[in-house]
Amino acid sequence: MLNPVSASGAFEVTLGIKTARAWRIAACLVVLLGAANSNGPAFAQEAHERPALRVGEVLAGSPAWAEWSRRYLRPSGRVVDTGTNVSHSEGQGYGMLLAVAAGDRRAFNRIWGWTRDNLAVRTDNLLAWRWDPMARRTADNNNATDGDILVAWALAEAADLWNDADYATAGGRIATDIARFLIVDTAGAGSVLLPARFGFASSDQPDGPVVNLSYWIFPAFARLNQLAPDPAWARVVDSGLAIVDALQAGKTDNVSNWTGLGDRQVAPARRFPAVRGYDAARIPLYLAFFPRDNADRLARFARMFPPGAKGLPIANLRTGDIEEMATGRGYRALAALRACAVAGQPMPRDFYWLGEHDAYYPATLHMFALIAALMTRADCMDPVEARHLQPRGPVLRFAGDLSRFGPVRVASQPLPAPAATPAAAHERVSPIEADNVGSHGLFNVAAPLGAALALAGFLAASRRSRTPAFLADPTPPVLRERSPAPRNLPENPFHATCGERALEQRLDIAAKASWEWQRTAAVAYLRLANYGDMVVADGVAAAHQMAANVVAKLAGCVRKSDHVTLLAQNEIVVCLSLIADEVDLYSVGRRLTAAVRSVDPGIGDEENIFGLALYPASDGSGALCLAEARGVFEALHPIRPVEAAVEKPAPAKRPAYAKTARRTKAKTKAEIST
């Protein structure tokens, strides 16, 4: 049998992808030309003042978002830290950003609504950082600066994606109070971020102010500057990079979770454990959003991610000991992202899927590693895997490419103080919206022109690529683990099945393995209609032998990667791998029908007698696939109950052994009556 994916087919798919990329590059060149002639104040293009990255819809339709939200997001909008079952502003901000990245506005509104209702309990516009599910209220009303930044960043992204000024207004209030209360000037380090409004200033700590470098969320600051324009944002970026450089200047990597800046010194904070661990792991993640600028800094994080480590080593910087190894695929994803940014190393196989048992924190870091890679280092990613993560990315992300190459504009006037009344707050126009209203020039022409070029590129790629129809949908969320089977499937994924439940699980495995070829699994279901008649007429042994003959015939005409199973006495299931689409599956059904007809010519004259079902492309499972195949069979071939077959009038000629069986049955009834 020919290889399921021919060389010419693979060439066409590759050519289609390259064509789409060419159209996108051409459109971006148009935007670059427009940017050179555009008017108005633009964000300065220096190292510390970068254009704002556009996160919206970078994971549109991605199964990674479906899996993350299934695990950690409650219907109320509460993001749950699975380690403690509490919720905090950091988790709510991460959830809001991931919802924007997925283009899931309903989920975003749920998360933002819960955050607003439960954490916005302070007199300022900052958020209480911790919510206790047992007490059903906030357990600590102090804020956490990283949570405030993440929420404000998410609101800015949502305002940009869905053109909603209310999001920008809310985010602007939070950003304004971050700049007002949490950015402080120091003698040695410049403007720095306090981790919270209370407890970390010079008056609170002997080596204060104490900072947490993982709260420097570098990709967020350009967005916060749009919401609340202030030169302090650029100074904060500079101070964060300077502190990282100072800690990495010595022979020993001293980047710790908590850093004291008192007495013009930069060192691990005295009153905090001198540990490089869970918090510090986020520093290279945020630096990797601009990997080309920060490659040298990322290279100096080698001690945090030693080669071959199974997780994140939690190191005591005073003793040099490794206190524990934080396991989780999310930490290995950070290591892979850093290796890509530093040395261009390809992403490993397990980078593209969340770990089966990862807790909230490593899984969330994993999601942001995926976003950073897709936005800044796609050259390290496998193109097929990237397509799984971004099934609708080439079309939905095109507007993001436009804004990324063009200058990011900011409001010319500072953000006004928060309005005293809700009505006034509702009427305020956000900086992002005001900028959109005031934009003129070639960009207004370039946007629709770019959209037209994108559509043409998409159509060209679609015509050249023969991608199966079911691949238009994202990878089924149930397939969250990549199959260990090689691409050519040398081992049959259906072997050693015993019972319907095992068969359903094997279908899941086969679907994962088939996805390597951009194919799926399928089921061909057959119920032997004359099985009951044969039991009555010829006995159970003869009926069973007939079913065994059908199974043997079918097994002789399927591929090595397929399997024929006698699920019940009269139910035959053919499990199929590497099925391209419905046309391919129906062709297999006709071939299987011909094989059955060679054993039992009386099955009918239909081209296909099987109930056929592809493994569902959305929210799929082996159980659903098998159930659908059964349903299709019953709709096409209604089967009489076995009782009706027993009452069927006897044919004119009946074999002698059948008459003997009937006399024996009557004699037994007579003896019982007597």
Domains in the chain with CATH codes? 7-55+392-408+440-467 (no CATH), 500-646 (3.30.70.270)
Q: What phi, psi does 514 have (nearest 5°)?
A: -65, -30
Confidence of residue 458 (pLDDT cuts 50, 70, 90): low
Please state the rounded mean pLDDT for residues 110-133: 95
Does 90 qualify as catalytic in the annotation?
Answer: yes
By CB atoms closer than 10 A (0-12, 13-18, 19+), residue 486 is exposed
* Residue 191: its H or E element: strand 190-193
Please state the rounded mean pLDDT for residues 576-593: 86
Q: What phi, psi does 611 have (nearest 5°)?
A: -85, 115
Quote the CA–CA distance of 525 and 609 in Å, as a whole number: 9
Quote the CA–CA distance of 471 and 563 in Å, as a whole number: 24
Instruction: Report the DSSP beta bridge partners of residue 152.
Output: none
Is 655 or 616 the better-scoring residue by pLDDT?
Answer: 616
Q: What phi, psi does 325 have (nearest 5°)?
A: -115, 110
**For residues 8-18, b (16+ Cβ closer than 10 Å) or e, as one string?**
ebeebbeebbe
Quote the CA–CA distance of 324 and 316 in Å, as a whole number: 10
Residue in this structure with the two tokens 């009951």, named with its chain if needed: 532
Which pLDDT score is estimated for 34? 42
Is pLDDT at 534 greater than 90 in this prediction? no
Which segments within 241-393 are labelled E, that is strand? Answer: 259-260, 267-268, 275-276, 311-316, 322-327
Which pLDDT score is estimated for 425? 35
Tokens of 474: 């994202």
Quote the CA–CA distance of 436 and 163 in Å, as a whole number: 10
Contact (CB, 8 A) for 89 and 152:
no
CA distances from 520 to 213, 282, 471 (A): 45, 37, 9
Quote the CA–CA distance of 440 and 444 in Å, as a whole number: 6
Which pLDDT score is estimated for 251? 56
Is pLDDT at 364 greater than 90 in this prediction? yes
Confidence of residue 141 (pLDDT cuts 50, 70, 90): very high
Quote the CA–CA distance of 227 and 414 in Å, as a whole number: 9
Quote the CA–CA distance of 185 and 205 in Å, as a whole number: 16
Is pLDDT at 281 greater than 90 in this prediction? yes
Lowest mean pLDDT segment, chosen from 85-99, 360-374, 378-392, 473-487? 473-487
Residue in this structure with the two tokens 């030169």, named with its chain if needed: 231
* Residue 108: its H or E element: helix 105-118
Q: Catalytic residue among 57, 67, 90, 435, which?
A: 90
Task: Collapse the DSSP code of 593 into the 3-class scheme (helix H, G, I; strand E, B; otherwise coil) and give the result.
Answer: helix
Confidence of residue 542 (pLDDT cuts 50, 70, 90): confident
**Number of residues that this document lists for the chain:** 674
Of the segments 46-50, 432-436, 451-455, which one has the largest average pLDDT value? 451-455
Does 146 qualify as catalytic in the annotation?
Answer: yes
* Angle between helix 105-118 and helix 145-162 axes, rounded to 10 deg: 140
Amino acid at 191: S
Q: Catalytic residue among 49, 57, 104, 146, which?
A: 146
* Angle between helix 531-538 and helix 656-673 axes, rounded to 10 deg: 80
Which pLDDT score is estimated for 160? 93
Which pLDDT score is estimated for 668? 44
Confidence of residue 236 (pLDDT cuts 50, 70, 90): very high
Is pLDDT at 84 greater than 50 in this prediction? yes
Of the segments 79-88, 411-420, 428-437, 483-492, which one has the largest average pLDDT value? 79-88
By CB atoms closer than 10 A (0-12, 13-18, 19+), residue 564 is buried
Which pLDDT score is estimated for 531? 75
Which pLDDT score is estimated for 15? 36
Quote the CA–CA distance of 345 and 172 in Å, as a whole number: 39
Q: Residue 19 has what DSSP assignment?
A: H
Which segments within 528-598 are labelled E, that is strand? Answer: 563-568, 571-579
